[in-house]
Structure 1
Amino acid sequence: MLRVVICDDEYIVLEGLRSMIEWSDYGMSLAGTAEDGKTALALIRDLRPDIVMTDIRMPGIDGLRLIELVMEVAPETVCIVFSGFNEYEYVRTAMKLGVVDYLEKPITLEKVDEALRRTRERIGRREELAALRRAAEANREAMLEQATLALLRRGLEVLPRWRACFGEAEADRVVAVTVIAGEVPEGALENALEPLGASRTVVGADGDESLAAVFHFAWPDDAGWEEVRGRMSELPDTAGAGGTYSVVADVVRSRTEALRALRFARFLEERGLTRYAHIAESGVFPEGLTDREEAILFDIRTGDKEGLLRDLDAFSRWMEQERLDPELAEQEILKLAYVGRRSGRETVPGAQRTAMPAAAVPHRELAGMQTRDEMFRWLREQLETVFAKTAEERQASQHAAVAKAIDFIGRHFRRDLTLQEVADHVGMNTTYFSLLFKEKTGASYIKHVTRLRLDEAKLLLREGKRVNEASEAVGYYNYRHFTELFKKHVGMTPGQYRDDPGAATRKEAEHG
């Protein structure tokens, strides 16, 4: 129902319109009436009607001024004026203000009927046009999302289509592109990306993953990315960011890197944003491999037997769908067997790796096979053997490596201790060490160090140390960061923890 407010200083007009018009016949309801301009304005502001019918001449605020004020606060309101004989100048002024119709006094039921029907039709056309505009906008957004997802997969091949959907002028402003993978609410993501400067983000679903293509209108620097990481660390989500590239078609590469970074972050259970740039030098994701191959290697390196079997099955299904000829199938399988064996060897710490020679892959066996199923069974046996040997070697060495790392961390966590320093101490690559530490302890390096530092800080606070003293004593030299971290993990500020022993005890019980 459209709601109507009538404003007229003549009681007989108000009463006549109230009692003699069957408003529901027009899809309307009479929401209220007023006898002067000030009362009318207050009523309109309160009720926000769809239609205002007002006399031009009224005490307090005249009809023309009332219309001006209504247009300021609710420009979508439809206004109809009542005018007396020889008030055409007022009517022309009213039309300039946006009035859609007028009724000349004396008002008759026929005039009202015609005006209300015209108004109903006008509003109907306006609503239809608004609905068409909304549908067109939604369609444009859907087309842009589809074009962007196609760009993420196929790059240069679909660039013209993407430019058309994005807008040629807007596309010309793009100086760089970055892909972010992970379930981050769109509004939260846009807020987190503010430090990077002007950009436009297109979000879409690619299979089971949510991808956001960030088109930058100014080149994002490292300081901006660090601030983005800080903002996203407060979110309960995990995301991976690919590299930033100046050529829009390189969004394909950024997508692959974002998914790699996301998988790495999920394994370590790290909240916030993990950038591919921070893991690119580790060798965890070798260059030149497909997503399917990388998934299998990642399973070997992280000791994920269930994931290995699942991803091998996916690789087999892909081979079947692609209908590869025997020669190509043999090349793909042999490549994966070699890289898998090398990957398994590289996950073993230094001393054991030296004692574990890089055995040759028995490729002649593969060459004599005639069917795809035979080849795949051979690959599965090879990789399962690699997995078993790697697990055996790592089992013998990793406990000692992790124990050595935990001891080193326990002696040095009170200062600025980096992951690189701990990894160097045990003779391992930082990325492999991160994976190993999480696998063996159940917690990431950062979470382990944070727990040690906060436990130590609580002891110092119980002894009466000032908050800044406790913060610096356990390696946090930023007072604000320490306070926020303490409150997030303990449930109260450091000062509250120190000053209220009873509450501190209760919080200790609540947090285990």
Structure 2
Amino acid sequence: MLKAVLFDDEYIVTQGLQMMVDWSRYGIELVGTAADGLSALAMVRELQPDIVMTDIRMPGLTGLQLIEVIAMEKPDTACIIFSGFNEFEYIRKALKLGVIDYLDKPITLEKIDEAIGRTITRIGHQQEHTQLKTQVAANKETLLEKAALDLLLQGKEAVPAWRTAFGLVEADRVVGVTVLAATGKGEWMEEHPSYRPVSFPYEKEWVTVIFHYELPADQLWEQLTLRSPHMQETIGSGQTYGDLGEAGASLKEAVRALRYGVFLEEKGWNRFEHAEDSFPHGLTECEEEIVFCMRTGNKEGLLRTLDEYKHCMEAERLSPESVEQEVLKLAYIGYQVAKESGGEMKQQTNVAYRELGGMTSRDKMFEWLQEQMEMFLNFMKEDKHATKHNAVEKALVYIEQNYLHSFTLQEVADHVGMNATYLSLLFKEKVGTSYIKYVTKLRMEQAKMLLLKGMLVNDVSKKVGYYNYRHFTELFKKYTGLTPGQFREGHGTGSRLSEPAQEGGEHEQ
């Protein structure tokens, strides 16, 4: 039902029209009346009516002044104006402001009936136009999402269709692409002049394809860094590619980073570079699944993946020689994953490929593969108990000695002689928390001590290994519930100190 308001300083007009007109017959509810312009304006802002009927002459604000404000604030409102004078200049101004009808007093039921009929027709046309525009915009967005998905799945072949959906002029500005994969849609991605995000659900993840208008993508990384401490989702990012045909590679990397982030229970942003394994690029999805299952000790998942792989090979009807090559390749992948644990491989744990050469049955080959992979997985479980203590203890000592400086997980892994991803899994298993959370806790506790000693926040940030002041402030607030300045003030050490202006000329609050 449409909402209408009636404004006139003559009580008989407002009272008469309110009582004599059967508003419900038109599908209209008369929601308010007013006798002066200022009260009328306040009512319009509060009630947001679809139809405004007003006299030209009113105290406070004239009808024209009122309509002028409505035209700026709510231009879709239908306005009807009436007057008891032949005020042609007012009529001209009213029409320029988009008034739908102008009625001479006295107002009769016949005049009201005709005016309301014309108004309802006008509103109907406006609504149809608005709906059409909304549908067109939604269709464009849907087409763009589909084009972006095709770009991820088909590569270079999908570029022409994507350019059309994206807009040829805008497409010419795009210089690179990055893919993010997340556990949920969230509200963590904002528009920015340097890139355009396109988001949509894909399989179990929510994917955002970032089309860059300039590189390097510093604005994107800064936004993710600042927002990461407050995210309720886990997000993985792939690498940035200058060739749009490589968008699919960025998607695979983003999904891999997401999976490791979820396994480590890391909310917020996880970079592919932090989850990248030591194998060459170009592993198939099945091979990557095998790597993931072995690293995480998921025997059930490993056996399920091997079974799915067997069925795929059977469906392709490969020759015995081809099956042997594929099986051997998987066996060597398992062997390399087992080696990355850092333990000493026993002689019998090596790939017994000579046994495979004498087999002519696919079933026998896959039975051999499963035995090999289970042997590698068991070795990793046994070796994990023997080596994880020493490796993690060595990592803890390194972190304790260096946490006040900026360093990466890869540097810690190099120090202990272990693959970075595998070390992060061992660290979580032994310490009970992830590497990132552990380092952050050490730094935040040290930062609290330095703040209590009266050190300036910007100096504390650098002192504990964060050279981005805003990132440090966000992490500190997430850890303590207070900004560094609030923490210091709350402990009585801030009254004698003043902060220098930080990024953007802002002082810490």
Q: Could you state the TM-score of these two structures normalised by the residue count of structure 2?
A: 0.83
- Post-superposition CA distance 1:197-227 (Å, at most 9, x none): 5211111111111110001111134586256
The counterpart of 1:361, out of the listed 353, 360, 372, is 353
Letter in 2 for 1:427: G
Match of 2:266 in 1: 270
Determine the C-alpha separation between the residues in 2 that align with 1:33 and 1:394: 79
Q: What is the deviation of 1:391?
A: 2.8
Match of 1:201 in 2: 197
Letter in 2 for 1:200: R
- The yes-or-no answer on 1:45 pairing with 2:39 is no
Deviates more, 1:17-26 or 1:143-152: 143-152
Match of 2:146 in 1: 146
Going from structure 1 to structure 2, the CA distance change for 1:99 and 1:427 (only over 3 Å counts) comes to same
- The yes-or-no answer on 1:340 pairing with 2:330 is no
The counterpart of 1:249, out of the listed 245, 269, 280, is 245
Match of 2:122 in 1: 122
Q: What is the deviation of 1:378?
A: 3.6
CA contact (8 A) 2:174 2:211 kept: yes
Deviates more, 1:221-230 or 1:46-55: 221-230
Match of 2:32 in 1: 32
CA contact (8 A) 1:7 1:33 kept: yes
CA contact (8 A) 2:342 2:417 kept: no
Determine the C-alpha separation between the residues in 2 that align with 1:30 and 1:125: 22
* Aligned partner of residue 188 in structure 1, secondary structure: coil
The counterpart of 2:380, out of the listed 385, 390, 395, is 390
Structure 1 unaligned regions, length at least 5 = 501-512
Deviates more, 1:381-390 or 1:83-92: 83-92
The counterpart of 1:425, out of the listed 408, 412, 415, is 415
- The yes-or-no answer on 1:188 pairing with 2:188 is yes
* Aligned partner of residue 144 in structure 1, secondary structure: helix
Q: What is the deviation of 1:186?
A: 4.7
- Post-superposition CA distance 1:403-450 (Å, at most 9, x none): 333345456656666544543432224343223322333322233344
Determine the C-alpha separation between the residues in 2 that align with 1:329 and 1:116: 79
CA contact (8 A) 2:80 2:102 kept: yes
- Output aligned runs, 1:89-128, within 5 Å: 89-128=89-128
* Aligned partner of residue 243 in structure 1, secondary structure: coil
Match of 1:296 in 2: 290
- Post-superposition CA distance 1:337-356 (Å, at most 9, x none): 2322233223334xx14978
CA contact (8 A) 2:340 2:419 kept: no
- The yes-or-no answer on 1:132 pairing with 2:119 is no
Match of 2:179 in 1: 179
Determine the C-alpha separation between the residues in 2 that align with 1:480 and 1:133: 41
Determine the C-alpha separation between the residues in 1 that align with 2:341 and 2:282: 19
Determine the C-alpha separation between the residues in 2 that align with 1:184 and 1:130: 31
The counterpart of 1:261, out of the listed 239, 242, 257, is 257
Structure 2 unaligned regions, length at least 5 = 494-509
Determine the C-alpha separation between the residues in 1 that align with 2:308 and 2:107: 78
Determine the C-alpha separation between the residues in 1 that align with 2:248 and 2:65: 58
Q: What is the deviation of 1:308?
A: 1.8
Match of 2:6 in 1: 6
The counterpart of 2:216, out of the listed 215, 220, 225, is 220
Going from structure 1 to structure 2, the CA distance change for 1:423 and 1:26 (only over 3 Å counts) comes to same
Going from structure 1 to structure 2, the CA distance change for 1:473 and 1:86 (only over 3 Å counts) comes to closer
Q: What is the deviation of 1:317?
A: 5.3
Going from structure 1 to structure 2, the CA distance change for 1:46 and 1:270 (only over 3 Å counts) comes to closer
CA contact (8 A) 1:268 1:444 kept: yes
Q: What is the deviation of 1:159?
A: 2.1
Match of 2:453 in 1: 466
Going from structure 1 to structure 2, the CA distance change for 1:411 and 1:104 (only over 3 Å counts) comes to closer
Going from structure 1 to structure 2, the CA distance change for 1:498 and 1:424 (only over 3 Å counts) comes to farther
Determine the C-alpha separation between the residues in 2 that align with 1:403 and 1:383: 29
Letter in 1 for 2:224: V
Determine the C-alpha separation between the residues in 2 that align with 1:201 and 1:474: 33
Determine the C-alpha separation between the residues in 2 that align with 1:388 and 1:185: 38
- Post-superposition CA distance 1:158-179 (Å, at most 9, x none): 2222222222222222111100
Match of 1:441 in 2: 431
Determine the C-alpha separation between the residues in 2 that align with 1:414 and 1:94: 70
Q: What is the deviation of 1:357?
A: 7.3
Going from structure 1 to structure 2, the CA distance change for 1:483 and 1:25 (only over 3 Å counts) comes to closer
Q: What is the deviation of 1:78?
A: 0.2
Q: What is the deviation of 1:261?
A: 1.7
Q: What is the deviation of 1:316?
A: 4.2
Going from structure 1 to structure 2, the CA distance change for 1:366 and 1:270 (only over 3 Å counts) comes to farther
- Post-superposition CA distance 1:446-477 (Å, at most 9, x none): 3334445566778x68xx96154999799616
- Post-superposition CA distance 1:220-268 (Å, at most 9, x none): 3458625632432332332111111122221111111111222233333
CA contact (8 A) 1:366 1:378 kept: no
Determine the C-alpha separation between the residues in 2 that align with 1:45 and 1:171: 41
Deviates more, 1:144-153 or 1:269-278: 269-278
- The yes-or-no answer on 1:402 pairing with 2:392 is yes
The counterpart of 2:229, out of the listed 229, 233, 243, is 233
Q: What is the deviation of 1:34?
A: 3.0
Going from structure 1 to structure 2, the CA distance change for 1:62 and 1:319 (only over 3 Å counts) comes to same
Q: What is the deviation of 1:315?
A: 3.2
Letter in 2 for 1:297: V
CA contact (8 A) 1:302 1:436 kept: no
* Aligned partner of residue 201 in structure 1, secondary structure: strand
Going from structure 1 to structure 2, the CA distance change for 1:58 and 1:390 (only over 3 Å counts) comes to closer
Match of 1:503 in 2: none
Going from structure 1 to structure 2, the CA distance change for 1:292 and 1:366 (only over 3 Å counts) comes to farther
Going from structure 1 to structure 2, the CA distance change for 1:45 and 1:383 (only over 3 Å counts) comes to same
Q: What is the deviation of 1:76?
A: 1.3
CA contact (8 A) 2:403 2:464 kept: no
Q: What is the deviation of 1:122?
A: 1.9
Determine the C-alpha separation between the residues in 1 that align with 2:12 and 2:406: 84
